[in-house]
């Protein structure tokens, strides 16, 4: 069932835009609507590269596939995301919420579930007797590795249908860009609070 949904999502994602005859009334109406939308949402932007929309659809469909895969190993995608930010060491709750870009109540709920499952633990912050740091346990690290293996298999399977090396290189480059952006945003938020 999951594979047929995945196949349907991939077909939807790769479906060509509907053909429109140039000069037809429908084409003119669509062009006017798209133009007014662009003016409202992107005042200084020119025509958008259609590959951007396909990239967005691909990412959204892939995220859905990842959600399903995560459930198969008993870790939700938001929980996985939180575990990722803890893989380099313990974090204070406030700092962790800022890094993960979620609100404190959401963080509290995620931490409670992961702590209940033995993936995280709260430890006293040695630099601040009142503070608590959240750290990954050995069980949490094993869960993180299990999720990554499952999701990696998904990427491997999908990339095998195209130019695998090109796809993996593109993901690697995008990972560097995203990591730099996350770091930049975190630093700007921390700097703004000081």
Residue 182 lies in a domain: yes
Do residues 63 and 96 share a domain? Answer: no
User: What is the three-class DSSP state of 13?
Assistant: helix
| 46 domain-assigned | no
Q: In this structure, is residue 146 part of a structural domain?
A: yes
Q: In what order do the strands lie in the sheet with 120-124?
A: 91-92, 132-136, 120-124
CATH number at residue 82: 1.10.10.10
* Contact assessment for residue 79 and residue 114, using Cβ atoms and an 8 Å cutoff: yes
- Cα(84)–Cα(102) distance, rounded to whole angstroms? 14
The residue among 142, 123, 139 whose CA lies nearest residue 131 is: 123
- Do 56 and 122 reside in the same domain of the chain? no
Distance between CA 102 and CA 122 in Å, rounded? 19
> For the chain, how many structural domains are there in total?
2
* pLDDT value, residue 182: 80
Whether 90 maps to a domain, the answer reads yes
Do 194 and 98 belong together in one domain? Answer: yes
User: What pLDDT, on a 0 to 100 scale, did the predictor assign at position 160?
Assistant: 95
If you count them, how many residues does the chain have? 194
**Tokens standing for residue 78:** 């938001």
Could you give the C-alpha distances from 18 to 9, 15, 21, 26, 71, in angstroms and in order?
17, 9, 10, 11, 35
Residues 112 and 57 in one domain: no
Do 121 and 57 share a structural domain? no
Residues 59 and 89 reside in one and the same domain:
no
Same domain, 182 and 113: yes
User: Does residue 84 sit in the same domain as residue 108?
Assistant: yes
Given this model, what pLDDT does residue 185 score?
79
Going by C-alpha positions, the residue among 55, 65, 50 that lies closest to residue 158 is 65
Residue 66: inside a domain: yes
DSSP one-letter code for 87? T
- d(CA 171, CA 176) in angstroms, rounded, equals 9
Q: Domain range holding 65?
A: 1-14+52-72
From first to last of the 194 residues of the chain, give the pLDDT tens digit. Answer: 444 444 444 444 444 444 444 444 554 454 544 444 443 445 556 788 899 999 999 999 999 999 999 999 999 999 999 999 999 899 998 888 888 888 989 999 999 999 999 999 999 888 877 788 999 999 999 999 999 999 999 999 999 999 999 999 999 999 999 989 888 877 776 677 66
Same domain for 102 and 189?
yes
Residue 148 lies in a domain: yes
Q: What pairs with residue 91 in β-bridges?
A: 134
Residues 57 and 141 in one domain: no
Q: Are residues 100 and 58 in the same domain?
A: no
**Do 107 and 185 have their domain in common?**
yes
Q: What pLDDT score was predicted for residue 39?
A: 37
What is the Cα–Cα distance from 159 to 166, expressed in whole angstroms?
Answer: 9
Domain-located, residue 117 = yes
């Amino acid at each position: 069932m999951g594979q047929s949904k995945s196949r349907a999502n991939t077909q939807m994602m790769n479906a060509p835009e509907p053909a429109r005859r140039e000069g037809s009334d429908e084409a003119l109406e669509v062009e006017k609507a798209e133009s007014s939308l662009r003016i409202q949402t992107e005042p200084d932007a020119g025509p958008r590269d259609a590959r951007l929309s396909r990239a967005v659809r691909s990412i959204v469909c892939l995220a859905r596939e990842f959600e399903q895969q995560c459930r198969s190993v008993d870790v939700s995608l938001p929980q996985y995301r939180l575990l990722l930010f803890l893989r380099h060491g313990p974090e204070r709750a406030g700092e962790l919420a800022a890094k993960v870009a979620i609100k404190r109540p959401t963080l509290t709920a995620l931490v409670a579930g992961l702590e209940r499952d033995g993936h995280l633990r709260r430890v006293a912050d040695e630099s601040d007797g009142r503070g608590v740091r959240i750290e990954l346990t050995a069980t949490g690290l094993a869960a993180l590795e299990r999720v990554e293996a499952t999701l990696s298999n998904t990427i491997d399977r999908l990339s095998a249908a195209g130019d695998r090396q090109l796809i993996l290189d593109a993901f690697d480059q995008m990972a560097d860009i995203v990591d730099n952006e996350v770091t930049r945003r975190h630093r700007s938020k921390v700097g703004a609070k000081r």
